[in-house]
Amino acid sequence: MSGPDKPKVIGEEWSDERVKSFLVTQPKGEGSDYTTLLKAYQAMIAKDFDRFVGFFVEAGRDLNAVNESGETILDRVGEHRKSLDYARALENAGAKKSS
């Protein structure tokens, strides 16, 4: 991850443990599965996100959870021009659009 205190790292390999660490998110409750998916989508390259989606489903989490606007993560990912691999990972795991 990069930020103001960290240089951007390109080509870093993520372990399964690091990918799985995104399964723990705050806040809990309504929308937490959506929030978990969103945070993983924003932080991971497509290959790692694909692995994450597998762990997410194995953990019994909801790929079709919605945000406060009623959108699923697939709705959100579909808005982005360069997100085809992310959308494919979600669709292959059973994610649906809200409409």
Beta-bridge partner residues of 3: 6
Q: What pLDDT sits at residue 5?
A: 58
Q: What pLDDT sits at residue 12?
A: 77
Give the Cα separation of 16 and 56 in Å (integer). 12
Give the 3-state secondary structure of residue 3. strand
Q: For residue 1, is pLDDT > 50?
A: no
Q: How confident is the model at residue 24 (pLDDT cuts 50, 70, 90)?
A: confident
Q: What pLDDT sits at residue 61?
A: 94
